[in-house]
């Protein structure tokens, strides 16, 4: 793959020179070699982008729903046409195996963008209550700050509903995996999206991200990332009382009830923990099993984990690629060491590099048994392929353990009786629950309770985040 060098930012419909001269290298997570370079943006660049977005808002916010729908569908079509290029970029940056990256990292953004084009034809922007007219209007200039684990999907999950609502956007993607954001900006130029409606400023969170969150002319900031960084975004945004949408960390519990098909549930649960090498905020990293069947579950999980081949995501055989960076690998190894120190039973994986993989940020798929929910590995988000198996006494105990966390993003329940599974799912304090391995749906809300964040993404719920409500009293 050729090195992708981007030396300009996309502001006001033009590729412009950044205010500073700094560059940021983008590293291939498998080879550890530089695969790209982007500008290190500054607060001055943010000011220019926000000014462009503010100037464009008046005309964009008053464009017809049909016109906005047309642009979104054009973007969706372009994303679909470029899915192979997008997948290869993300596989190299983040480490997801290519076939999966094609379906998920490239497929989901196109699907989500298209879903908002479709939704615009159905969404009620007005309703009459008595004699009053209630209208939903775009909130204004939106700052979008996105993470590296699903780099284009997380961008589109914000940009698509913001544009659909009639808002203008300033985007700061993660500097760790930014290349698909440049692909998206190129698409915006190709389809003739009006100048200033979409703006791209790359750089570091403490500089560019903070400048966006604090900017008085940014009406809303939507952030996905760590809970720690989300708190900082909220602090800065509070100074101008702007709306804040946060999608933060998770430590999601997968509750396997005693009447579940254990072979199927545990195998699926290991996959739901290891998806994207565990670099998923909604990963089901705590597997809760009846104490009487703990050892049975552990044996299935161990065998499943050991069948997760680790290797080059572009090679075609690996189920598990590398982590995104050396920093991330060290973090995950630190948590594995902590699990051993605190007395959890290591049954698969560990701290050593996978055999034959000296280059690349690889970690062995790891399983801990006999985990107590007070242990660090059961409470803190690891963001790697590390599963904690936790025994429980009865359904009430399972619910108590599942809810015993500062997070509330996702979860799972497995049972031979779907109604029983739903009853348990209703008791979980979390924004999304998979019943017996239920699949992804781009139209249902995604977001968290507690310190997993505020607001929802996807579908009509995601669109409503970017709208203000006005009552006209007649």
What residues are labeled active site? 247, 281
The rounded distance, in Å, linking the Cα atoms of 51 and 29 is 36
Dig out the tokens for 89 from the structure. 């970029």
Torsion sign over Cα 434, 440, 445, 451: positive
**Rounded distance, CA 286 to CA 373, Å?**
9
* Nearest-angstrom CA–CA distance, 51 and 453: 28
Which residues, at least 6 apart from 89, have a Cβ–Cβ distance to it below 8 Å?
4, 179, 180, 183
Contact call for residues 237 and 214 (beta carbons, < 8 A): yes
104 to 109, 153, 322: CA distances (angstroms): 8, 8, 17
Q: Which of 423, 401, 400 is nearest to 413 (CA)?
A: 423
Residues 94 and 29 sit within 8 Å (Cβ to Cβ)? yes
Task: Give the integer Cα–Cα distance in Å for 40 and 36.
Answer: 13
Of the candidates 380, 431, 418, 425, the one whose C-alpha atom is nearest the C-alpha of residue 398 is 425
C-beta of residue 286 within 8 angstroms of C-beta of residue 254: yes
Q: From CA 10, how far away is CA 182, in angstroms rounded? A: 8
**Half-sphere exposure at residue 448, Cβ-oriented, CA atoms within 13 angstroms:** 28
Residue bearing tokens 């500062």: 406
Question: Do residues 90 and 106 touch, judged by C-beta distance below 8 A?
Answer: yes
Q: How many other C-beta atoms can be found within 10 angstroms of the C-beta atom of residue 21? A: 10
CA distance 300 to 270: 9
Distance of alpha carbon 230 from alpha carbon 448, whole angstroms: 13
Chain position carrying tokens 């905020």:
281
Distance CA 148, CA 155 (A): 10
Residues whose CB is less than 8 angstroms from the CB of residue 380 and which lie 6 or more positions away in sequence, other chains included: 251, 335
Beta bridge partners of 199: 170
- CA nearest to 365, candidates 341, 343, 342, 382: 382
Q: 3-class DSSP state for residue 27?
A: strand
């Amino acid at each position: 793959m050729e090195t992708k060098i981007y030396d300009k930012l996309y502001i006001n419909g033009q590729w412009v020179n950044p205010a500073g001269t700094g560059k940021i290298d983008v590293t291939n997570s498998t080879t550890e070699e530089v695969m790209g370079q982007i500008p290190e943006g500054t607060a001055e660049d943010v000011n220019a982008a926000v000014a462009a977005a503010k100037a464009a808002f008046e005309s964009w916010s008053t464009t017809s729903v049909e016109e906005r729908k047309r642009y979104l569908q054009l973007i969706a079509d372009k994303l679909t046409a470029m899915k192979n290029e997008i997948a290869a970029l993300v596989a190299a940056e983040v480490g997801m195996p290519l076939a999966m990256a094609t379906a998920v990292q490239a497929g989901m953004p196109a699907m989500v963008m298209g879903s908002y084009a479709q939704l615009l034809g159905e969404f009620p922007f007005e309703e009459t209550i008595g004699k009053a007219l209630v209208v939903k209007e775009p909130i204004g200039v939106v700052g979008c700050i996105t993470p590296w684990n699903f780099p284009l999907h997380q961008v589109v999950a914000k940009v698509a509903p913001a544009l659909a609502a009639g808002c203008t956007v300033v985007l700061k993607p993660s500097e760790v995996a930014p290349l698909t954001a440049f692909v998206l900006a190129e698409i915006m130029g190709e389809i003739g999206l009006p100048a200033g409606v979409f703006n791209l400023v790359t750089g570091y969170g403490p500089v560019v991200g903070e400048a966006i969150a604090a900017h008085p002319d940014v009406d809303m900031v939507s952030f996905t990332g760590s809970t720690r960084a989300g708190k900082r975004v909220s602090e800065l945004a509070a100074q101008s009382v702007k709306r804040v949408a946060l999608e933060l960390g998770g430590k999601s519990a997968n509750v396997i009830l005693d009447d579940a098909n254990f072979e199927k549930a545990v195998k699926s649960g290991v996959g739901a923990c290891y998806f994207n090498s565990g670099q998923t905020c909604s990963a089901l990293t705590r597997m809760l099993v009846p104490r009487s069947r703990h050892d049975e579950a552990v044996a299935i999980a161990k065998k499943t984990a050991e069948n997760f081949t680790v290797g080059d995501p572009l090679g075609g055989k690996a189920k598990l690629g590398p982590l995104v960076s050396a920093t991330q690998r060290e973090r995950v190894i630190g948590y594995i060491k902590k699990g051993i120190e605190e007395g959890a039973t290591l049954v698969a994986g560990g701290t050593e590099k996978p055999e034959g993989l000296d280059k690349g940020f690889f970690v062995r798929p790891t399983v801990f048994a006999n985990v107590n929910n007070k242990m660090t590995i059961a409470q803190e988000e690891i963001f790697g392929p590390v599963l904690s198996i936790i025994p429980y006494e009865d359904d009430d105990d399972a619910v108590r353990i599942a809810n015993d966390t500062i997070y509330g993003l996702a979860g799972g329940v497995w049972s031979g009786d779907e109604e029983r599974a739903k009853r348990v799912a209703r008791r979980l304090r979390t924004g999304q629950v998979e019943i017996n391995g239920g699949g992804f749906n781009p139209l249902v809300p995604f977001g968290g309770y507690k310190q997993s964040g505020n607001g929802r993404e996807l579908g009509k719920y995601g669109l409503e985040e970017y709208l203000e409500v006005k009552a006209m009293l007649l």
